[in-house]
Chains A and B, each alone.
Chain A
Amino acid sequence: MDGYSLSDLFSILVMQGFSGLSLFSVLLLMALGLAIIFGQMGVINMAHGEFMTIGAYTIYMTSRFTERHFPSFMPYYFIVAILASFLIAFFVGYLLEFLLIRHLYKRPLDTLLATWGLSLILQQVFRSFFGAREVSATLPDWLMGAWKPTPDIDIPLNGLFVMAMSMLVTAMVGLFLFKSKWGLKVRATTQNRVMASAVGINTKMVDRVTFAIGCGIAGVAGACFTTIASTGPTSGSLYIVDTFLVVVFGGTASLFGTIASAFTIAQAQSILTFFLTNAMGKVVTLLTIIAILMMRPEGLLRSKVRR
């Protein structure tokens, strides 16, 4: 570690820490959806990454559309586009739950395979529509540039935006789950499906909406993703293994656990990446997570539901 002065090291730590925060934001958004779905239905959605890609391509399409037809609207389109990416991912998720996933709730391992097949199909669909090359949306000006608190530290604005976005969505998911009527139904179904339907909750509908919301959040993750990287047909699948680990590591059915584990994994990865090589940083992080999981199979925070 010689060669770095103390203030250099501090700047590096802040900047790597910040890039870790951007990764954290995307991982968190991805994991939130997956965690609700897994917590409630015990289903692992291998195609979750593709819903993120759907969101990212939605942003790309809206940016192209706005650029061509309403150039004056450019500074604001992004907000509308995020909504659109949520809605499109939501409806695709809703449809797929109806067509495919609901038949497989009793066979979680089979769902894993079926959704893997789904992700292959979706990837090929993206490839035929948008081409194999990566595309990137034109971002509004206010997302460009960087904030410099000191001369050594560069904090990109898009990173800040992504962070704000993920905080907002997390807060909304928290409000939805713990303050709304639907959230009450969702929690009831998660805790005890049979009793929930006995008191008149339409658990099938709750499942469908929960699945769709999880996919919608992945769509928002994709929207955020476009601000920090370009989108290709397989962009989503790059994050999927990390996301699974976030969910498993965080402990299911625990919003706070998901946040904590997304934070740990993202920070560990981006700080280690700087001191080791890119690959080794990732290897060390993943290995540590697996080692911890072996000691605590229920994850960081276990849910207090009696099975």
Chain B
Amino acid sequence: MKGFGKAVLGKPGFVDLLVMAVIILVVFPLALDIFRLNLMGKYLTFAYCAVGLVMLWGYGGILSLGQGIFFGIGGYCMAMFLKLEASDPVSTAHQTTPGIPDFMDWNQVTQLPLFWEPFHSFIFTLFAIVVIPALTAYVIGVSMFKRRVSGVYFSIITQAIAAIVTILVVGQQGFTGGINGITDLKTLHGWDINTDSAKYILYFVNGVLLILSVILGKVVLSTKLGRLLLALRDKEDRVRFSGYDVSSYKVFVFCLAAVVSSVGGAMFTLQVGFMSPSIIGIVPSIEMVIFAAVGGRMSLVGAVYGALLVNYGKTAFSETFPTLWLFFMGFLFVGVVMMFPEGLSGLYKTYVEPRQRRWMMKVKGGKGIPEQLNENARV
């Protein structure tokens, strides 16, 4: 736990983390009704992807346009488990083949496909949510990074993979629920997930897991690995010539980002009650990048705010001005990249922090955080 203490406690970044935790776990539940809170919970599940992208893109310089795939893996694993529980032989007695999910029955599938079988077990499902994305990312990562596919090439290929996965999921309607996805999810081990109390509990589980993911990210990035990632983002060849196996570091961070996204996907399914291909394709995947970009690509905490803000904006805009939403999103992409490449956290660092430091100097009588240390410490 030495690394944990060093990375999290006692650093200026700790305050940011604490503020975020208070906002998520105290302010939101007190200020919002259950409907809005559930919505916030949904936005927070996208924050997992943004957190993963900060590690992957902000630090590693690897822009994956396919994070939706991993979000989808987690989401679909959870949805498959919940769907199997919802389609017990009693409640599906009216079907041609009782005991299989309804969409399979509609698509003339008469037997549960083999890859669905293990999802009867909750333990296996939890295991799958972590292991499958890690394996997928490992395979993709090894085959690309070992071959030194990087930069724009990597982005394009991950985007193509996202396209393939979406086409597959939509096309194999009998096995995946097609374009509608997996819907009508009701219970988790007999616990109704659609009641208000369940929604509260799931929100808190989600929030805690997200904060844990951010802490995990902070720990990982504060180690030597984090510094190596930065180094290889800026001058990959020099890191390689210094004797480091660059591709392994890239593979590791890609897998880590994948697992974090997948957990987010699973929480999405639990809170929203369905999973569909519209959340995993090219467009949502690239939107996840903008969450990270708005929050600040170098700030894990910022990514969470970015995801909240953009998604909130999306809901608010599409409720009142549906046609303006795409304009807003478009200008957000252009504006963030052109004017605020460091996102919200960059603005915070330039405008708020110096004041804060001056204020602390005044309070403590000249014993504020020295500028130099502060810059280095922030993860």
Contacts and interface: CB of A to CB of B under 8 A. Distances in A.
Interface of A: 38, 42, 44, 100, 103-104, 107-114, 116-124, 127-128, 241, 244-245, 248, 277, 279-280, 282-283, 286-287, 289-290, 293-295, 297
B103 interface: no
A248 B149 CA distance: 11
Contacts of B153: 248, 293, 297
Nearest to B170: A279
Interface in B72-91: none
Contact of B333 (A44, A114, A277, A294): A114
Contacts of B331: 117, 121
Interface of B: 57, 61, 63, 65, 143-144, 147-149, 151-153, 155-157, 159-161, 163-164, 167-168, 170-171, 282, 286, 289-290, 293, 323, 326-327, 329-338, 341
A121 B331 CA distance: 7
Contact of B152 (A108, A118, A282): A108
For chain A, what secondary structure do more than half of its interface residues adopt (helix, strand, loop), or is it mixed? helix
Given A110-B337, A294-B144, A283 B167 contact: yes
- Which are the 5 A-B pairs with shortest beta-carbon distances? A117-B333, A279-B171, A121-B330, A120-B330, A124-B326
Contacts of A116: 286, 333
B334 A286 contact: no
A241 B147 contact: no
Contacts of B164: 283, 286-287, 290
For chain B, what secondary structure do more than half of its interface residues adopt (helix, strand, loop), or is it mixed? helix
A260 to B, nearest CB: 18
Nearest to B290: A113
Given A112-B63, A121-B331, A244-B156, A277 B171 contact: yes
B338 A103 contact: yes
A112 B330 contact: no
Given A44-B156, A110-B341, A122-B330, 7 more contacts: A100-B334, A109-B57, A109-B151, A124-B326, A127-B323, A286-B160, A290-B160
A286 B156 CA distance: 12
Given A120-B326, A121-B326, A124-B330, A245 B160 contact: yes
Contact of B338 (A114, A241, A279, A280): A114
A100 B338 contact: yes
A114 B155 contact: no
Nearest to A103: B338
B167 to A, nearest CB: 5
A245 B158 CA distance: 11
A286 B66 CA distance: 15
Contacts of A241: 159-160, 163, 282
